[in-house]
Amino acid sequence: KQEVTQIPAALSVPEGENLVLNCSFTDSAIYNLQWFRQDPGKGLTSLLLIQSSQREQTSGRLNASLDKSSGRSTLYIAASQPGDSATYLCAVKRNYGQNFVFGPGTRLSVLP
């Protein structure tokens, strides 16, 4: 059974800091991994999608890496801004089935 964990559960940083969010999964037989952002009471916004054959993806100030063999992904946020405050979730799709498994999320607060 695939299990996904995210560390830390919550993070508070001053504006301008670079930060790293971690996602770990127990079964390395994944098709892809997707990072999302969720604002309070809202749906999920897709940030980055990494296919199993890829090592990283970049979008603006965001960079996500994938190490499938060790079951880890990291989301790097450069020069954080108060508008980055949200919960960040990772989700993995296994090679079989359509069941996407989500982590519990990291709640990020960027203080002005």
Partner 1 sequence: DTGVSQNPRHKITKRGQNVTFRCDPISEHNRLYWYRQTLGQGPEFLTYFQNEAQLEKSRLLSDRFSAERPKGSFSTLEIQRTEQGDSAMYLCASSLNPGRQLGRGYEQFFGPGTRLTVL
User: Where does this chain bind partner 1 (CB under 8 A)?
Assistant: 4, 31-32, 34, 36, 41-46, 49, 51, 89, 91, 93, 97-105
Least distance to partner 1, CB of residue 79, Å = 26
d(CA 33, CA 18): 22
Beta strand 19-25 with 72-77 is: antiparallel
Smaller CB separation from partner 1, 7 or 79: 7
Q: Find residue 25's DSSP bridge partners.
A: 4
Least distance to partner 1, CB of residue 76, Å = 20
Q: Would you state the structure tokens that stand for residue 96, as one six-digit string?
A: 């079989």
Q: Would you state the structure tokens that stand for residue 8, as one six-digit string?
A: 């830390």
Torsion of CA 63, 54, 4, 45, to 10 degrees: 50
Least distance to partner 1, CB of residue 16, Å = 28
Smaller CB separation from partner 1, 60 or 112: 60
Smaller CB separation from partner 1, 15 or 45: 45
